[in-house]
Chain A
Amino acid sequence: MTKAKTKSKAKTALQKVKFYQTGTLTVGNRLMDEDARSVQASMDRSNALTSGHRACQGCGEALGARYAIDAAMRAVNNRIVAVNATGCLEVFTTPYPETAWSIPWIHSLFGNAAAVATGVAAANRVKGRKDVKVIAQGGDGGTTDIGFGCLSGMFERNDDVLYICYDNEAYMNTGVQRSSATPPTARTATTPSVGDKPGNVFGTGKNLPLIAMAHNIPYVATASVSDLHDLETKVTRAMDIKGSRYIHIFVPCPLGWGTAAHDTIRIARLAMESGLFPLFEAEHGEVNSSSPIRRQVPVEDYLRPQRRFAHLFKKGHEDTESIARLQAMADANIKRFNLLRKHNQRDEL
């Protein structure tokens, strides 16, 4: 038999078996059809955020932004404008006159990205450019704190903008100050690890995805750099919806968290698998899907490799009470979003 014949036989055989070695857990998979692979696997992905940017080694935000914007571009045939809040993502990509963005991109201020995006969307409407979509993006500080008013207004008016928050749980660009997305006990420049309850305090902060849902906007989702396929699916879905949409992406920061540069995705995975950062989607204020935990880990596995939590694990002075409270937060998420149901193997497409 010729080789060509063997190959074509192989093709029919492939369809029968529903197991792909790594399924969709890896970025690509040579055994699967091209269109079942991720945007990032493609040789002609747009690389909206290109090389030469000045983000730290192993930056989760740089990675998350490329994942999200490349997926958005694929979804709408590259017709997007991005509005960026001040923060690392703006500073490391665009030290004027140099830029790492290969898309139309505007930066105005730290707190007004949502308002500027509303304006761009309005201008498009007036000019009749229905095909051009608007994305606003910023860090957790720019989103949950200083930009919160503008963002809430954008949601309330249901302006046709996708807002993406890259959550690295502090004001990283100015030297790791606490934001309202900083988790309890984390050490930052403004919540130092001193005193008998060191780090950020319990009972503070806000959960922006839930607040966004309370605005009844068409689409809210959380995503993580540790689950690329899920992230791309959510961005693609969001691009298909009109009105205000919000995606909150978990992006570890090696510098601010005190983690190894190569551990960024692993840390994000541990956040996901411990239940501390649940992945879910909501439409019009109702949660309608969540990603079950595949291999559950205790929160300790997530906290221990990070220097911002080092004070919890001081030899002989382990802060078991705080660790237990963090575990309780994870457990509450697991219950609320039903994260421990049996995992539906995603390679059985």
Chain B
Amino acid sequence: MKPFAITLDVGTSLANHTGSWRNERPVYLDRLPPCNAACPAGENIQAWLYHAEEGDYHAAWQEIMQHNPMPAIMGRVCYHACEGACNRGKVDEAVGIHAVERFLGDEAQKKGWTVDCASPSGKNVLVIGAGPSGLSAAYHLARLGHAVTIHEAGPFSGGMMRFGIPKYRLPREVLDAEVQRILDMGVTLKVDSKVDDIQALMKDGGFDACFVAVGAHLAKRANIPAGDASHILDAVSMLRGMETEAEPPLLGRRVVVYGGGNTAVDVARTAKRLGASEALIVYRRTREQMPAHDFEMEEAEEEGVLVHWLRTIKQIEDTTFTVEKMALNDDGWPEPTGEFETIEADTLVLALGQDVDTSFLEKVPGVNIAKDGVVDVDETMMTGCDGIFAGGDMVPAERTVTVAVGHGKKAARNIDAYLRRFRYKPPPKHEVAEFENLNSWYYTDADQRVQPALDLIRRQTTFQEVLGGLDETNALFEARRCLSCGNCFECDNCYGVCPDNAVIKLGPGKRFEFNYDYCKGCGMCVAECPCGAIKMVPEEN
């Protein structure tokens, strides 16, 4: 008889299902990257950077276009809340998302990329205002198969992107090309056609729904006693004049701009370029309290724009301005000090904000104008009048191009649902990928790529674009700085670090799966996943 042991056939350990040891199990998940969570237009930034990382710029651009029809504009003028939220900011510097977006937008213009539209729905939608919000709504509605007509009061499309934002930040060729692509989708644009009676127009034109986005164009005034000889303008008409008048506005040598927002900064920088030897911003509070963004202030100061903080303009006599010094009280509010000084200037430009012209909406039954002159909308962006939606600067929200574009998208999806008689349900939001969910060890060190800037002389004398774009090498580098927060980027770490071979690699683009027969639940995959795309959940029993 043989000894006991060697009578047994050798078998593989695969018969031993060590998964039964587990009391927690790893599961793959997509977390919401903080950039996406912060984007007012609802872009899936991580997803388009993922394509850009591979050099597939066309796919990256198509992903942006799911949410935002104007990447070349957005990459230039968006205040990029995404970058403020970017997790890479905690490693070295945030990913230069806007610079990559701009590269993709410009690439699309060069290559003439287009998007597909759904088959015609037979429905007609009226859009009022060809600003970013109206254009965004028109684009999304057209993609969804609806016929769209835009009525625009002004002689050109673009809204504040043309009548506000100066050329040196947004060249008009870029703006025109982005708008043209939307028109090429079959959207009809009627310029010089101010809408006065929405309901009559809807009836006559056979429109099934309407999106109103007329912006906020009425300049706020200040009560400053001034003699007749004083030259006072408001920021919106001055900037608009740059676009619509044959000659630029006459400002004189010394220009004072009153206000502390981005508009004030744009006016001062424009004045500089028009030949003003002195462009001075007067603001009643401090730099920290200024709504203008730091980077814009820095660029303006580089160009020679001066600022007087904590000052109010009390009186103007010809070219002599009397200003009072202010001081912050304990609550951080500016209070008069009773100390005065004088400034000499040829022109005053008021940049104190804008109100919405709601007069033509007041006649529409059901539409409710809120206290501060903006129009109330519900969570579907519909006003109190059935079938009339509104968005952008004229509804209560932050006033930016990106918010306006986001409103246009949201309204379009809800109008689509309204026309097709269902209720649009936005997909549920994933939990946010916090920095603590990442394992930053795995990312190589890499500084943000810097966009080239125009030389100072030309910045002070011409309207050429100040910031240049990244070339392809740098755009690709920048895209690859993305940490892919919360979304698997197929680094194979989980597949590699599992001591039990309990991770199954499904192949390129297909990600991974757990083999729960053998996973002991050690959690190493979770700890070593660079981007936080796995989490442990308790085992049921």
- Residues of A with Cβ closer than 8 Å to B? 1, 3, 6-7, 9-11, 13-14, 16-17, 19-23, 25-31, 37-38, 40-41, 43, 47, 49-55, 57-60, 62-63, 66, 93, 96-100, 102, 228, 254, 260-266, 269, 295, 345-347
Distance, CA A14 to CA B55, complexed state (A):
7
In the assembled complex, which residues on chain A have CB atoms less than 8 Å from the CB atom of B526?
262
Q: Are A262 and B527 in contact (CB under 8 A)?
A: yes
Known A-B contacts A21-B444, A27-B492, A228-B496; A52 and B16 likewise in contact (beta carbons under 8 Å): yes
B472 surroundings in chain A (CB, below 8 A):
13, 16
Instruction: Specify which of A22, A47, A53 is in contact with B443 (CB 8 Å cutoff).
Output: A22
CA distance A37 to B481 in the complex (A): 19
Closest 5 CB pairs of A and B: A28-B492, A10-B55, A27-B496, A52-B13, A262-B523
Evaluate contact between A347 and B444: CB separation under 8 angstroms: yes
Which residues of the partner chain B approach A7 to less than 8 Å between Cβ atoms?
56
The CA of A100 and the CA of B12, in the complex, are separated in Å by 6
16 extra interface residue pairs, beta carbon distance < 8 Å, beyond A47-B501, A51-B502: A3-B59, A22-B442, A23-B444, A30-B489, A41-B495, A52-B17, A52-B18, A53-B13, A55-B499, A62-B500, A98-B16, A254-B522, A261-B522, A265-B527, A266-B527, A345-B445
- A9, A13, A27: the one contacting B495 at CB < 8 Å is A27
Q: Are A30 and B480 in touch, CB under 8 angstroms?
A: no
A41 and chain B: residue at smallest CB distance? B492
Closest to B497 in A: A265
Separation in Å of the B13 CB from the closest CB of chain A?
3
Binds A, one of B3-11, B183-191, B327-335: B3-11
Closest chain B CB from A29 CB (angstroms): 6
B508 interface residue, CB < 8 Å from A?
yes
Instruction: Check A20–B11 contact: CB distance below 8 A.
Output: no
Question: If the complex has contacts A17-B473, A51-B500, A53-B500, are A58 and B493 also in contact, measured as CB distance less than 8 A?
Answer: no
Contact residues in B for A3 (Cβ distance below 8 Å): 58-59
| Given A3-B59, A7-B56, A21-B480, A51-B18 contact (CB < 8 Å) | yes
Instruction: Tell whether, in the assembled complex, residue A25 and residue B522 are in contact, meaning their CB atoms are under 8 Å apart.
Output: no
Residue of B nearest to A96 (CB): B5
Contact A28 B477 (CB under 8 A): no
The chain A residue with its CB closest to the CB of B500 is: A51
Could you say which of B211-219, B306-314, B383-391, B513-521 contacts chain A? B513-521
A55 to B502, CA, bound (A): 13
B113 contacts the other chain (CB 8 A) = yes
Whether A97 contacts B14 by the Cβ 8 Å rule is no
Assess A31 versus B9: contact at CB under 8 Å? Given A52-B18, A58-B524.
Answer: no
Q: Which residues of B contact A28 (CB under 8 A)?
A: 490-493, 495-496
Which residues from B are CB-within-8-Å of A55?
499-500
* B420 at interface, CB cutoff 8 A: no
- The dominant DSSP class at the A interface is loop
Q: Nearest chain A CB to B270's CB is how many angstroms away?
A: 38
The reply to whether A63 and B499 form a contact with Cβ atoms under 8 Å apart is yes
**Closest CB-CB distance, A59 to chain B, in whole Å?**
5
Alpha-carbon distance between A290 and B398 when the two chains are bound, in angstroms: 55
- Note all chain B residues with C-beta closer than 8 A to A43: 505, 507
Assess whether B446 is interfacial by the CB under 8 Å rule.
Answer: yes
Q: Does B422 contact A (CB under 8 A)?
A: no
Q: How far is the CA of A23 from the CA of B500 in the complex (A)?
A: 25
Complex: chain B residue closest to A92, CB-CB: B13
> Which of B16, B482, B490, B493 lies in contact with A54, CB distance below 8 A?
B16
Contact present for A17 and B499 (CB under 8 Å): no
Q: Which of B435-461 contact A (CB under 8 A)?
A: 441-446
Residues B496 and A263 in contact, CB atoms below 8 Å apart: no
Q: Does B200 contact A (CB under 8 A)?
A: no
Contacts of A23 in B (CB 8 A): 444
Look across to chain B and name the residue whose beta carbon is closest to the beta carbon of A25.
Answer: B442
Q: 1/0 contact trace for B497-541 toward A, CB 8 Å?
A: 111111001011000000101101111101110100000000000
For B490, the chain A residues whose CB sits under 8 A away are 28, 30
CB-CB under 8 A for A97 and B518, given A22-B443, A63-B497, A262-B526: no
Rounded to whole Å, the gap between the CB of B40 and the closest CB of chain A is 27
Chain B residues in the interface with A (C-beta under 8 A):
5, 8-18, 21, 53-59, 111, 113, 441-446, 472-473, 476-477, 480-482, 484, 489-493, 495-502, 505, 507-508, 515, 517-518, 520-524, 526-528, 530
Report how far A59 CA is from B502 CA in the complex, Å: 13
Q: Are B491 and A98 within 8 A (Cβ)?
A: no
Task: Let me know if A26 and B58 touch, CB within 8 A.
Answer: no
Smallest Cβ-Cβ distance to A27: which chain B residue: B496
Considering the chains assembled together, what is the distance between the CA atoms of A228 and B493 in angstroms?
10
Determine how close the nearest CB of chain B comes to the CB of A267; give it in whole angstroms. Answer: 10
Cα distance A63–B525 when bound, in Å?
12
| CB<8 Å pairs between A and B, sample of 22 | A1-B58, A6-B59, A14-B55, A16-B472, A19-B446, A20-B444, A20-B480, A21-B443, A25-B441, A26-B491, A40-B496, A41-B492, A49-B501, A50-B12, A53-B16, A53-B500, A57-B522, A62-B499, A98-B10, A262-B526, A264-B499, A346-B444
Q: Which residues of chain A have C-beta atoms less than 8 A from B17's C-beta?
A: 52
Within the complex, the shortest CB–CB distance from B399 to chain A, in Å, comes to 36
Whether the pair A10, B54 counts as a contact (CB closer than 8 A) is yes
B499 vs chain A, min Cβ distance (A): 4
Task: State the CA gap A196–B71 with chains docked (Å).
Answer: 68
Asked if A262 meets B491 with Cβ closer than 8 Å, knowing A17-B480, A98-B13, A98-B16, the reply is no
Of chain A, the residue at the smallest CB distance from B509 is A30
Chain B residues near A11 (CB-CB < 8 A): 55
In the complex, which residues of chain B have a beta carbon less than 8 angstroms from the beta carbon of A261? Answer: 522-524
Across the interface, which residues of A come within 8 angstroms of B57, CB to CB?
A: 6, 10
Closest CB-CB distance, B21 to chain A, in whole Å?
Answer: 7
In this complex, the member of B5, B505, B508 whose beta carbon has the largest number of chain A beta carbons within 10 angstroms is B505
Q: How far is the CB of B15 from chain A (nearest CB, A)?
A: 7
A240 to B476, CA, bound (A): 37
Q: How far is the CA of A41 from the CA of B11 in the complex (A)?
A: 27
Within 8 Å CB of B5, what residues of A? 96-97
Instruction: Write the nearest CB–CB distance from A236 to chain B, whole angstroms.
Output: 16
Cα distance, A25 to B528, chains bound together (Å):
11
* Chain A: minimal CB distance from B173 (Å): 21
A100 to B13 alpha-carbon distance, docked (Å): 5
Q: In the bound complex, how far is the Cα of B472 from the Cα of A254, in angstroms?
A: 47
Contacts of A264 in B (CB 8 A): 499, 522, 524
Residues on A with beta carbons closer than 8 Å to the beta carbon of B10: 96-99
Q: A22-B442, A23-B444, A57-B520 are in contact. Are A51 and B55 (CB under 8 A)?
A: no
Of the candidates A9, A59, A260, A263, the one whose C-beta lies within 8 Å of that of B499 is A59
The answer to whether A96 and B530 touch across the interface, beta carbons within 8 angstroms, is: no
Q: In the complex, which residue of chain A has the Cβ closest to the Cβ of B525? A: A262
Tell me if A38 and B111 are in contact (CB < 8 A).
Answer: no
Contact A54 B18 (CB under 8 A): yes
> For the complex, what is the distance from the CA of A32 to the CA of B490, rounded to whole Å?
12
- State whether B444 touches A22 (Cβ < 8 A): yes
Contact A6 B58 (CB under 8 A): yes
Distance in angstroms between the alpha carbons of A43 and B484 in the assembled complex: 23
Closest Cβ of chain B to A259, distance in Å, is 11
Q: Give the chain B neighbours of A99 by CB distance below 8 A.
A: 10-13
Given the complex of chains A and B, what is the CA–CA distance between A58 and B502 in angstroms?
A: 12
State how many angstroms separate the Cβ of B259 from the closest Cβ of chain A: 43
Residue of A nearest to B494 (CB): A27
Residue of B nearest to A63 (CB): B499
User: Which partner residue on chain A sits nearest B10 by CB separation?
Assistant: A97
